[in-house]
Amino acid sequence: MPLITRRNLIKASAVAGAYGAGMAIAGRFGLAEAAPEPRILAARKTEAQIIEGPPTRDIMTWGDGGLPPILRMPRGKPYAARLSNNLDEPTTIHWHGLRIDNKMDGVPFITQPYVYTGDNFDYVFTPPDAGTFWYHPHCNTLTQMGHGMTGVLVVEDPSDPVFDAEVVLNLRDWRLGSDGQFIAPFRPRDAAKAGTYGTIRTANWQQEPKYDAPAGGLIRLRIVVTDVTRIFSLKMEGADATVIAIDGNPVPKRFPLDLLQIGPGQRLDLAVRMPDGEGAVATLEDIRGTTPKVIASLRATGQSLKRDIGDLGALAENPVPKADLSSAEAIPLVLSATAENAAVESICGTLGYSFWAINKVPWPGDTSDPTAPLAELKLGKSYVFNLENVTPHAHPIHLHGMSFTVISSSTREVVPLVSDTYLVQPDEKVQLAFVADNPGDWVLHCHIIEHQKTGMTSYVRVV
């Protein structure tokens, strides 16, 4: 548990002025609107029933306890959330995938001071893109996220196609012992490999939940992998499932779901055509392990609505700028293992090890004196990350503040997906193009949190 000394407190309040918690809204839509009433997100510890038996203690969440609320907001309108910290350690909130103002990005030292116990922080932003996103702390993340602080955020567009029902699945594991209580969050030998897996898998904090959905109807299934480690290979049994969006952005061409891999931080939107017969069940499975695992299931209810997937309108495209490849500058981004430099002590938690590096530099942890930026980018200019994974493990690499387009891979044919998180496979080289259109320091890191916290983090500066 990080100790909050008076000295730390003074240091933090000194930086607070420099960052400035601005309430003015400079949205990408160019409108200056008054901030709405904030949604209160009270971070707190609680107990919850994750497995049978005594409830799990030391759960961390926001709100009344239990699953973090699904935050829904319209695209292009200002949204306000007040983080109120009732934990006994500092925290922040990062809005994963939202291309918003740097001051609202929730990264300690890089974009804002820590929010200490008893303090508030007002986040105000205007989401430019519609789709499925999520939110989580960016402080002591293996503990805070591992203990429950991973919530789903949905940005709605009034022109979105109408579905007969919507089901949101927040996929995550828990590292619990047989008594239902938390065990050690990681094993160093696993952190140096694929990461340490949880012992209990859940969707919406339940094991293999079942939801009712109209027979013959079209269901929008929003799947978010908020786990700190697990990569899924998703498959639907008993119904046709069509991929309509990945990582919040509509896919260029819809395709049937067939063993799609998605890693921590990623989202998948499916249009599921429910079976016609009442009582028929469609099951979402993860087949990445040796035996398929049921994630959740949908049970058909009522008379068939006899809907056709072809009737479903298109999702509105998000206004992500297209990179100009003829003038784009290349930025190498090589992921490797390292044995150098032990991590520095930080009040946002350190795992005490350094296993990973980006361009041979292992991230030292949250500090007021971080390493130099990976690159300094010119506002408005196009860039291409030449991302290369020379490790034997897959890494979901997440960029804050801007979205990129996947343009090529050394190992597979790619479609030009727009995304904020790319799951790079071992020995894969991939090109990710983007326009540096959002000023500020933006972190990029592996979303396997043990990798992030043991070196696989860096940042770019857009000026």
Give the DSSP letter of residue 178: T
Residue type, 333: L
Binding map of Cu ion across residues 349-388, x = CB under 5 A, - = no contact: ----------------------------------------
* 81 backbone dihedrals φ, ψ, rounded to 5°: -135, 135
Identity of the residue, 59 or 448, whose beta carbon is nearer to Cu ion in the bound complex: 448
Q: Could you give the CA distance from residue 77 to residue 91 in angstroms, rounded to a whole number?
A: 26
Task: Report in angstroms how near the CB of residue 367 gets to Cu ion at its nearest.
Answer: 21
DSSP secondary structure string for all residues of 301-360: ESS-----GGGPPPPPPP-PPPP-TTTPEEEEEEEEE----PPPP-TT---S---EEETT
Q: Could you give the CA distance from residue 15 to residue 70 in angstroms, rounded to a whole number?
A: 32
Identity of the residue, 220 or 451, whose beta carbon is nearer to Cu ion in the bound complex: 451
Identity of the residue, 257 or 446, whose beta carbon is nearer to Cu ion in the bound complex: 446
> Could you identify the residue written with the tokens 């969440």?
61
451 binds Cu ion (CB under 5 A): yes
175 binds Cu ion (CB under 5 A): no
Task: Report in angstroms how near the CB of residue 86 gets to Cu ion at its nearest.
Answer: 31
Identity of the residue, 202 or 421, whose beta carbon is nearer to Cu ion in the bound complex: 421
75 binds Cu ion (CB under 5 A): no
DSSP secondary structure string for all residues of 406-451: EEEESSS-----EESEEEEPTT-EEEEEEE--S-EEEEEEESSHHH
Residue type, 165: A
Task: Report in angstroms how near the CB of residue 83 gets to Cu ion at its nearest.
Answer: 27
Q: Which of 96, 299, 307, 395 binds Cu ion (CB under 5 A)?
A: 395
169 binds Cu ion (CB under 5 A): no
448 binds Cu ion (CB under 5 A): yes
6 exposure class (CB count in 10 Å sphere: 0-12, 13-18, 19+): exposed
Identity of the residue, 225 or 320, whose beta carbon is nearer to Cu ion in the bound complex: 225
Q: Could you give the CA distance from residue 140 to residue 114 in angstroms, rounded to a whole number?
A: 11
Task: Report in angstroms how near the CB of residue 196 gets to Cu ion at its nearest.
Answer: 12
- Which pair of tokens denotes residue 120? 């508030």
Tell me the C-alpha to C-alpha distance, in Å, between residue 267 and each of 25, 55, 225, 283, 381.
Answer: 27, 29, 6, 18, 28
273 binds Cu ion (CB under 5 A): no
Identity of the residue, 147 or 451, whose beta carbon is nearer to Cu ion in the bound complex: 451
Identity of the residue, 235 or 398, whose beta carbon is nearer to Cu ion in the bound complex: 398
* Segment interacting with Cu ion (CB under 5 A) among 149-157, 339-347, 375-383, 449-457: 449-457
446 binds Cu ion (CB under 5 A): yes
Identity of the residue, 139 or 446, whose beta carbon is nearer to Cu ion in the bound complex: 446
Residues 6+ positions from 7 with CB-CB distance below 8 Å: none
* Segment interacting with Cu ion (CB under 5 A) among 31-39, 145-153, 252-260, 390-398: 390-398
Question: Which positions touch Cu ion (CB under 5 A)?
Answer: 395, 446, 448, 451
